[in-house]
Amino acid sequence: MSREKKVLFVTGASSDVGQALILQIADQYDTIVAHYCHSHEDIDGLAKKFPGKIQKVKADLADSKEVQTMIDGMIKEKWLPDHIVHLAAPKTMNERFHKMDLASLDQTFEVSVRSIFYILQSFMPHMSKQKYGRVVLMLTSYCLGVPPKYQSAYVTSKYALLGLMKALATEYDSKGITVNGISPEMIDTKFLSDLPDLIVEENAAKSPLKRNLQVDDVVPMITYLLSDQAEAITGQNIAITGGMSREEVFERLHEIFWDVFDDEDIRLTDATTSDDIEDWDSLEHINLVVEIENQFGMKFTMGEVHEMKNVGEMVDIILERATK
């Protein structure tokens, strides 16, 4: 559906991803409302490149009063967004759970979850009335498998966003509104500045690409989810990981095995077979295969199922299918 006078609202527009996104799709909108908190210089540069199109709005998303003032200002200016992209999040940092205070969790929730709650609650009625809208939330690959240690606040807030995305996708699917999330692996941006270099380097080494993601690896998916071509896609958390490593497949299989067999003591190796796990009979094998298909988003042939004599062969087939 081609629409006139489209308005895009981007939170965290001064981020590397936000700037790249606006540069790529500015020509598709009449107005782009670009949110920032501290740094507006980069947005000023975009405003010069697209005169009259970029509208800056400043707000500390950790402050609910500032969020409401920003929303009220947008309504007053009649900048009612048809598309919303939520990128804003506090910088991630390593913090042991037992040393984390509640204020740290609260701030992360305010910026990542509560702010977009207010924003969507204010603007989704407009989308619903016109029976058209797009919402894209920035999640994380930590929502896909086993998350890293020492990221409790960040991971918890992203799972809350994932739940909100799923709930809203269901509630508004009859209104012409799509709500989706993207879960990229670590992106090489200034967002990583508070993480130790060793963690960033180790993540790059574990990636199938042997590097961390670049902004240009992520922006095209956001652009697609905002497009008319994605009108049939909603409620999806789309992984952007550069492919799956063997280690990642094992991590996800551990979770699946724990759920299917209700046993978190299971430890998988390439050589693990049904003889090593109690209750892994022919019936549970079918349940296991179905759950693997659901979690990895693939459908195995009967021949592939018969080839799964041990977990190592199972991983090989998953990795092979993931490249097709």
pLDDT tens digits for 223-274? 999 999 999 999 998 888 776 677 778 888 999 999 999 999 999 999 999 9
Indicate the average pLDDT of the chain.
88
SS3 category, 138: strand
Q: What percent of the chain has pLDDT over 90?
A: 58
Tell me the pTM. Answer: 0.75
What mean pLDDT comes out for the span 124-144? Answer: 93
Residue 169 to residues 151, 156, 175, 183, Cα–Cα distance (Å): 27, 20, 10, 16
User: How would DSSP label each residue in 116-166?
Assistant: HHHHHHHHHHHHHHHT-EEEEEE--GGGTSPPPTTBHHHHHHHHHHHHHHH
Record the tokens describing residue 239, joined without a space. 């992984």
Residue 192: the pLDDT is 64
Residue 229: the pLDDT is 92
- The CA distance from 158 to 150, in Å, is 14
Least confident of 22-26, 69-73, 290-294: 290-294
Of 162 and 100, the structure prediction assigns the larger pLDDT to 162
What mean pLDDT comes out for the span 89-95? Answer: 75
Residue 5: the pLDDT is 66
Residue 251: the pLDDT is 86
Q: Is the pLDDT of residue 4 over 80?
A: no
- What pLDDT, in 10s, does the model give residues 168-216? 999 999 999 999 999 988 777 776 666 667 776 776 676 666 777 788 9
Q: Is the pLDDT of residue 1 over 50?
A: no
Residue 17: the pLDDT is 95
Least confident of 13-22, 206-215, 287-296, 308-317: 206-215
Least confident of 40-49, 116-125, 175-184, 210-219: 210-219
Let me know: does 169 contact 235? Beta carbons within 8 Å: yes
Q: What are phi and psi of 190, to 5 degrees?
A: -65, -15
